[in-house]
Structure 1
Amino acid sequence: MTRPTATRQRPLSPHISVYKWPITMTMSILHRVTGGALYFGTLLVALWLVAAATSEDTFNLVNAFFGSWFGRLVLFGYTWALLHHMLGGIRHLIWDTGAGLEKHTASKIAWVTVIASVTLTLLVWIAGYLLR
């Protein structure tokens, strides 16, 4: 027995392009992504510590990588991921108390998380540059 065909083609399930991504959904995804990125970044910190304990040549090699434009870009991304993930954790801690769960408030807190993580990352890097 054949099924009658629909008059228009419809997807079997909603596609990602159908939905407008609310900021809270975006922050949830970013929180998970930054958590994963922190695993990689922590391996880089461990590599730096092992290089420091190994030899001066190894340490200089690793420092040369971190001092390159690509290494600094990786470190900048790691700094942002660390701060963004921390602020996302604070956001979840606030929600765990039962506060800020209203849709409008949750969206505001999510935007504060984005703005604060970018601002704090820039402040950390500016302070690091000024204190060199």
Structure 2
Amino acid sequence: MATHKRPLSPHLGIYKPQLTSFMSILHRATGIALAVGLLPLTYWLYSISLGPEAYEQVQSIVGSPVGLILLFGWSFALFYHLCNGIRHLFWDAGMGFDIKTAYTSGYLVWIAAFALTAGAWLLAMMRGTL
């Protein structure tokens, strides 16, 4: 039986990284981060029903430097996933597929995600909830 030399499929090492591919991967990663972040959120809500001692224990963990970093990352994931999801809704409607619009909307997603995260944290600090 004769074997033919067939071309191999292109590997990821061949492709130049693009904003749209990076944002697609990050959209999936933030979705996973949001799902994982629901576990501590659920525990925090559950601790409220257990009484003041349990709530204070969870608050001390959330208020620690590591807890605040994780909370900041989770809040950025929330806003990024929200903004990029809105972008995907426009794509589902058939709008914004040309390269210039795709890159412009991508940059707008980044700007909006950072602005919303910063705004939420500034508001929380001004109200004294952090």
Give the TM-score category using the shorter length.
0.7 to 0.9
Q: Equivalent residue for 2:37?
A: 41
Shift of 1:15: 3.9
Is the aligned partner of 1:32 residue 2:42? no
The residue type paired with residue 60 of structure 1 is E
Give, in whole Å, the separation in 2 of the partners of 1:122 and 1:16: 34
Give, in whole Å, the separation in 1 of the partners of 2:14 and 2:97: 25
Q: Equivalent residue for 1:117?
A: 113
The residue type paired with residue 30 of structure 2 is T
Matches within 5 A, 1:32-111: 32-111=28-107
- Over the aligned positions, Cα root-mean-square deviation in angstroms equals 1.7
| 1:21 aligned counterpart, secondary structure | coil
Give, in whole Å, the separation in 2 of the partners of 1:44 and 1:94: 32
| Structure 1 gaps, min length 5 | 4-11
Shift of 1:13: 4.8
Shift of 1:123: 1.0
TM-score for the superposition, normalised by structure 2: 0.87
The residue type paired with residue 66 of structure 2 is F
Shift of 1:60: 0.8
Give, in whole Å, the separation in 2 of the partners of 1:32 and 1:17: 21
